[in-house]
Amino acid sequence: PGVFYANLHDIKGTPKFRMKTLAYHEGVPGHHFQLAIQQELEGIPFFRKMIPFTAYSEGWALYAERVAYEMGMLPDPYDNIGRLQDELFRAVRLVVDTGIHSQRWSREKAIEYMAKNTGVTESDVISEIERYFVLPGQATAYKVGMTKILELRTRAEQQLGDKYDVRDFHRVVLGNGSVPLNILEELVDKYIQNKKSS
């Protein structure tokens, strides 16, 4: 617990300006925060502390990158460029994931598309593409999860007005561990109704 290892296999191809976003994704407020809370939950079966629902857990980590930016944790414009490059990378992954599994793209076509549109090193592109071939939908799940969490946050903000507190929203999102997105939506809707009636 509390240890984060950065993969520096190609140190010259790893721009420093992307490291803060990576740290926020993997550390706090990202995976470390989310998983620590999940593992410490009481009153739920053990398997619920261990099951990862990719859209939830990776969606939270992408959302955490954005929250870090919103909180002013990326004051250097170069660090924000790193965050934006990661956003671009995730958008390209959506295209590549669906290209491979829906349009039957070849490995070479997927590598070419990702290399041309991300600015990421060739070794990283090849590694990513090979991952997408064996994990259909995994890359897409990241962005689907983040989009759902942002949608639910906007819903809570709009429906609760002055009663909205982002800390309460985050407690609801994290306080039940990794769940399917439809269950997360039910939990947020219940939170909204309870907060409205209090």
- 111 vs 20: CA distance, rounded Å: 26
What does the pLDDT look like over 80-101, one tens digit per residue?
999 999 999 999 999 999 999 9
Cα 162 from chain centre: 28
pTM of the predicted protein model: 0.92
Is the model's pLDDT at 52 over the cut of 90? no
Task: pLDDT band for 8, please (50, 70, 90 cuts).
Answer: confident
Tokens of 45: 């079966």
Q: What is the pLDDT of residue 1?
A: 57
pLDDT digits (tens, 9 = 90+) for 138-190: 999 999 999 999 999 999 999 999 999 999 999 999 999 999 999 999 999 99
Q: What token pair was written down for 25?
A: 């994704």
Residue 50: pLDDT band by 50, 70, 90 thresholds? Answer: confident
| DSSP 3-state of 154 | helix
Give the model's confidence band at 120: pLDDT under 50 very low, under 70 low, under 90 confident, else very high.
confident
Supply the pLDDT for residue 119.
Answer: 83
